[in-house]
């Protein structure tokens, strides 16, 4: 799946979280971030911390690939 912006990434995170039947609270707990961060990430906030976003993706089993 191509991710073109923060909203696309957030939508993917939300979909995967729901498919895994996790609440935002559950995902925050296992990712080591706050619930507010998960909410902002899923809502496409462009200024979330990249390292935390990557950690959440890893917890969900999502692989990130950058192509130049």
Domain housing 47: 6-59
Whether residue 23 is contained in a domain is answered as yes
User: Is residue 66 assigned to a domain?
Assistant: no
Q: pLDDT tens digits for 27-55?
A: 999 999 999 999 999 999 999 999 999 99
CATH number for the domain including 34?
1.10.260.40
Angle (nearest 5°) at CA 57 between 14 and 24 = 40
CA 55 to chain centre: 8
Joined together, the tokens standing for residue 47 give 């200024």
Task: Tell me which residue of 16, 19, 37, 18 sits closest to 28, measured CA to CA.
Answer: 37
Read off the pLDDT band of 1 (50, 70, 90): confident
In a domain, 67, yes or no: no
Total domains in the fold of the chain: 1
Residues with Cβ within 8 Å of residue 68, at least 6 apart in sequence: none
pTM of the model: 0.92
Q: Is residue 68 a part of any domain in this protein?
A: no
């Amino acid at each position: 799946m191509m991710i073109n912006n923060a909203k696309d990434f957030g939508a993917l995170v939300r979909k995967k979280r729901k498919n895994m039947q996790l609440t935002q609270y559950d995902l925050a707990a296992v990712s080591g971030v706050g619930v507010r961060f998960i909410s902002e990430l899923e809502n496409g906030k462009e200024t979330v911390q990249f390292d935390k976003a990557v950690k959440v993706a890893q917890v969900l089993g999502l692989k990130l690939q950058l192509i130049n």
